[in-house]
Structure 1
Amino acid sequence: MALSTHYLVKSGDLKKFLDTIKNAQAPDKFTHKFVQDLGFKSTNDRLYIGLLKSLGFLDQNSVPTTRYYNFLDPGQSNQMMIDGIMDAYEDLFAINTKANELSFSDVKGKMKSLTQGSKSDSIYSNMARTFKALTDIVEWKDKVSSTKKNKPTEVEVEEKTESSTQKQQTHHEPETIIKRNRTELHYNIQIHLPATRDTSVYDAIFQSLKKHLLDD
């Protein structure tokens, strides 16, 4: 579980900053100088680095991650932001799956509750304002984080198990029927003919066999 404590003092330029890095060549290391080179020269703009780390766009050494490079692809940018936000504020989404729709005051209150009020009111305001700025620039049509899509829920696992059991039962039942239908009885009848030259005796024996065994 996680709840990012990184925040921006000026969150109004967040979208502009993200659009700028999306259109810039990814650096080997995301430094303060690189932020300045992008045109964000205020000391407050350095806070973007910590925010990008919490979103999983940079590792702890400020090196761009796979998520960062995927973000540069316009077709993946929105989903990468969703993944980053839901990972950075996992605790918040655990409380309310629609945390992105909460008001500023509700977000601030829940953050204060989750961190047991260990920070100042102004910091909570900045944290909540940053969260709202992030969620406002994202299209939430595909809310589920792609990093969690491949994890089956307990219900899915149970349904798969039940389905597998039903398939096994369905598979074996026809086999049982087939085996029953193939059950056959074979009779081995041995006839000891008497030693005689009178053919009428043999004729009578075979006529009797035909009457009682062959004619049904």
Structure 2
Amino acid sequence: MTADIPYMTAPGSIVKILEKIKEAQTPESFSQDFLKTKLGFNGGNYMTFISWAKKSGMLTGDGAPTQLYKQFRNPTTSGTSLATALKTGYSELYSRNEYCHDLDKKAFKGLVMEATGESHDSARVERIVSTFFNAKTLADFETNPSHVIEKPTQDLKADIVAPPPKESLSRKGISLGLNYTINLVLPKTDDPAIYNAIFKSLKENLLNE
């Protein structure tokens, strides 16, 4: 039994359809009428996109858009979700080479021939290769969807403003007070005794009257 690998009979149109999906509202059901009326693709060759999308996990068997479909419409996750869809639809090829998206066309075509058992001049093989290579121009295989960038923890800082001295200079009825600011960088510790010792020493030596 040959591998059931998805493709479109008009491979060059897949990018145009995917771009239109980003612009259009998510339908309850991705039907032929939606493809023709809402997306503007009227013709039998375009209808094979529905089968491609179902095998790639973007549509359910009934044609309802999946979470993957919705993530593809999100500019932030569009590329990574399409990469996931391609890995789903072309799982037979990924089982043979998990980095098959990095292969050139000649090597990728050889992988398709191996999986399908068809000849190098097979129209089906050509369409599978062309459909994949057209679709992957919108995919992002490098970014990890679950990658989270954590901000580095900053040192705890305390700004202590000392009270003005009791005695102030007075001249011609104008009082002059002196203030000074101490910037203290506290060490990272879970022991409150260390903080108590620091502030006690600060009070006794710098903030005493």
Shorter-chain TM-score tier = 0.5 to 0.7
Unaligned runs of 5+ in 2: 148-209
In the TM superposition, what whole-angstrom CA distance separates every residue of 1:122-157 from its partner, at most 9, and x where no partner exists?
A: 111101111111222223322x676xx9xxxxxxxx
Q: Which amino acid aligns with 2:98?
A: T
Change (3 A) 1:25 1:119: farther
Q: Pairwise mapping of residues 7-86 of structure 1 onto structure 2 (< 5 A)?
A: 7-37=7-37, 38-86=39-87
How far does residue 119 in structure 1 lie from its aligned partner after superposition?
A: 11
Separation in structure 2 between the aligned mates of residue 119 and residue 28 of structure 1, nearest angstrom: 40
Question: Are the aligned partners of 2:22 and 2:72 in contact in 1 as well (CA < 8 Å)?
Answer: yes
Q: Provide the identity percentage.
A: 25
**Deviation, structure 1 residue 120:** 7.8
Deviation at 1:5, TM superposition (A): 2.1
TM-score by length of 1: 0.60
Runs of 4 or more, structure 1, over 6 Å off, are: none
1:93-145 CA-to-partner distances (Å, cap 9, x unmatched) read: 23223211222232222112112339981111101111111222223322x67
SS in 2 for 1:75: coil
Query: In 2 relative to 1, CA 4–145 (structure 1 residues): closer, same or farther, beyond 3 Å?
Result: farther
Larger strand percent: 2
**Could you tell which deviates more after superposition, 51-60 or 7-16?**
7-16
CA distance in 2, matches of 1:7, 1:115: 13
Tell me by how many angstroms 1:70 deviates. Answer: 1.7
**Equivalent pair of 1:4/1:88 in contact (CA under 8 Å):** no
How many angstroms does 1:77 deviate by? Answer: 0.9
**Which residue of the partner structure matches residue 202 of structure 2?**
none
Matches of 2:32 and 2:12, distance apart in 1: 19
Deviations 1:25-68 (A, max 9, x none): 11111111111011111210001101111110101111111111
Residues 63-142 of structure 1 mapped to structure 2, 5 A cutoff = 63-117=64-118, 121-142=122-143
SS at match of 1:30: coil
Change (3 A) 1:53 1:67: same
TM-score scaled to structure 2, two decimals? 0.62
Counterpart contact for 1:71–1:77, Cα < 8 Å: yes
- 1:145 & 1:127 partners in 2: Cα distance? 26
Aligned partner of 2:5: which letter?
Answer: T
CA RMSD of aligned residues (A): 2.5
Aligned length: 145
The amino acid across from 2:126 in the alignment is S
Change (3 A) 1:25 1:4: farther
1:169-208 alignment, distance < 5 Å: none
SS in 2 for 1:68: helix
Name the CA distance, whole Å, in 1 between partners of 2:18 and 2:4.
18
Question: What SS does the aligned partner of 2:11 have?
Answer: coil
Relative to structure 1, the CA distance from residue 102 to residue 58 in structure 2 (aligned partners, 3 Å threshold; closer, same or farther) is same
- Letter paired with 2:49: Y
- SS at 1:41 equivalent: coil
Within 2, Cα distance between the matches of 1:92 and 1:46?
Answer: 24
Distance 2:145 2:88 in 1: 8
Instruction: Report if the CA contact (8 A) 2:6-2:90 is conserved.
Output: no
